[in-house]
A and B are shown apart, each in its own frame.
Chain A
Amino acid sequence: MLILNCPYCGESADETELAPGGEAHLRREGPESQDEAFESYLFHRSNPKGVHFERWRHAFGCGKWFIAARCTATLEVFGTYAAQTSCPPQEIVDKISERRPDRRGASGS
């Protein structure tokens, strides 16, 4: 039973208030894109056993989408941040580096 802090309303939201929305920081591929890129955008997911950047909506709260950096193996949450960004904020990247020094790459994808 996760508990995530909604960066908009500041509430510590119980999982029952939240709707998960899958991997974050995907770049939309439009009508000009190649088949392979479009397939990848729709279906290929990093699905890591480890640090995952993922979208959540505070569906039964303020209604806003936000992004959580969370470990899928331990459920540790490194932080949450506004959805209006294409990469995680530096402080969260730093925290992940500190908590998971062996992890390669600290970006969203």
Chain B
Amino acid sequence: MKRYSAFAIVREAARHHLGWQRAWTSPEPRASYDVVIVGAGGHGLATAYYLGKNFGITNVAILEKGWLGGGNTGRNTTIIRSNYLQDPSAAIYEKARSLYETLSQDLNYNVMFSPRGVMMLAQTHHEVRGYERTAHANALQGVETEFISPSRVKELVPIIRLDGPRYPVLGALWQPRGGTARHDAVAWGYARACSDMGMHIIQQCEVTGIRSEAGRVSGVETSKGAIGCNRLGLVASGHSGVLAEMAGFRLPLESVALQALVSEPIKPIMDVVVMANTVHGYMSQSDKGEMVIGGGADGFNNYTQRGSFHHIEETVRALVETFPMLSRLKMLRQWGGIVDMTGDRSPILSKTPLDGCFVNCGWGTGGFKAIPGSGWGMAELMAKGHSPLTEAFSLARFREGRFVDESVAAGVAH
């Protein structure tokens, strides 16, 4: 792989950029691999990457029915934070966040991780107590957060109105090393690195069946023929349920639409990420200048990648109340993604009833921020059969009643 650098750009510029190589290859599948990962989104690609990097397993194929990074990896609002309340969540999200810190250098691909700070507004006394609890928990979890005063909120976010008529800002939970990254670049960077290790990323390849022998996975059937494997990772977000059915087990998942929108670009006016959970809205400003806005999810099953307008309306209204200067800006584009929600709204990273088959799904509205940590833990789980990072997220928890419930601290999880 040719390394990327400013020097390389200058060198290629002399050749009018005709000399750049493909960022990833596009091979035909081999008959079998040690590991097959289904789903070339951020989580699938990161799983493959850490299988190679941490465990030397590089005979890996990543199968993608569409185009890599084309699912929720490329549709989210790019927020990265780890200020979660429950220990297992804080652990995996903080692992992810800390990996994001050096991801650009590790991948030799600028994913533009920008630790500009994430602020979660407390707008009721109940929320103040909730975030004070989170701050205490985070201190013991090794996650750097702090509960800050309204005046500090205003300093960090000059466009905010503290004394809104409905919900005044009473403070905020502040994670200074939270932030954002460029979502597509995360998928592309991992894909390039996986390809460089000799792994096969096979796009336009839909899995149509899962093969097993004597209770153990032996391969998959795909639109490009049968592919054998020793271990199989299902990392397909909202489509995991369909895959699980092929493998003969069920998952506690429901797929619903989540929407986001951006404004037209303007010069920088808000450096930090602000989340207002009481009124279900969150906002950051992208490097391009767009205000990136997300809100709540629909409550009904939906695979259309289109959501209902009233959610957009409620979110925008809440944000106009919170940031009155938004009123004369314009919405440029809205879109939807399909998120897979579990019974406790926390992800599943687990062995399955089918030996050799592992599943990583159920990230709901919070998957992007977890990608490196999720891949790290999933790779360890697939390589060694267990991982401290993923232990609490096993399928068994639904039977035992051992939930990882974050709704405690936040109305929306984003």
Contact = CB atoms under 8 A, between A and B. Distances in A.
A and B touch in the complex (CB under 8 A): yes
Interface of A: 1-2, 15-16, 19-20, 22-23, 35-36, 39-40, 42-45, 47-49, 52, 54, 56, 72-75
Contacts of B253: 45, 47
B308 interface: yes
Contacts of A1: 308-310
Contacts of B303: 49, 72-73
A63 B275 CA distance: 33
Contacts of A45: 252-254
A52 B309 contact: no
Interface stretch (B79-87, B282-290, B294-302, B323-331): B294-302
Interface of B: 239, 241-242, 250-255, 298-304, 308-310, 342-343, 398-399
A43 B128 CA distance: 32
A95 to B, nearest CB: 19
Please name the 5 residue pairs, one residue from A and one from B, whose CB atoms are nearest each other, closest first. Answer: A43-B252, A20-B299, A20-B300, A43-B343, A39-B399
A83 to B, nearest CB: 16
A4 to B, nearest CB: 10
7 contacts: A20-B300, A39-B399, A44-B250, A45-B253, A47-B301, A49-B303, A74-B304
A47 to B, nearest CB: 5
B310 A42 contact: no
Contacts of A72: 255, 301-304
A9 to B, nearest CB: 20
A68 B239 CA distance: 23
A39 B398 contact: yes
A49 B240 CA distance: 12
Main SS at interface, chain A: mixed
A2 B300 CA distance: 10
Contacts of B342: 43
Given A2-B308, A47-B253, A56-B300, 10 more contacts: A1-B310, A19-B299, A23-B301, A39-B398, A44-B252, A48-B301, A54-B300, A72-B255, A72-B303, A75-B304
A15 B252 CA distance: 25
A73 B253 CA distance: 16
Contacts of A35: 399
A36 B252 CA distance: 12
A36 B250 CA distance: 12
A74 B303 CA distance: 8
A40 B309 CA distance: 33
A47 B254 contact: yes
Contacts of B299: 19-20
Contacts of B310: 1, 15-16
A52 B301 contact: yes
Contacts of B304: 72-75
B301 A54 contact: yes
Interface centre among A35, A36, A39, A73 (most CB of B within 10 A): A39
A61 to B, nearest CB: 15
Contacts of B241: 47
Contacts of B251: 44
Interface centre among B239, B250, B253, B300 (most CB of A within 10 A): B300
A57 B241 CA distance: 26
Contacts of B300: 2, 20, 54, 56
Contacts of A56: 300
A7 B242 CA distance: 32
Contact of A15 (B239, B250, B308, B343): B308
A104 B158 CA distance: 57
A42 B303 CA distance: 22
A41 B342 CA distance: 14
Contacts of B254: 22-23, 45, 47
Contacts of B308: 1-2, 15
A19 B310 CA distance: 13
Contacts of A42: 343, 398
A40 B249 CA distance: 11
A49 B242 contact: yes
Contacts of A52: 301
A33 to B, nearest CB: 12
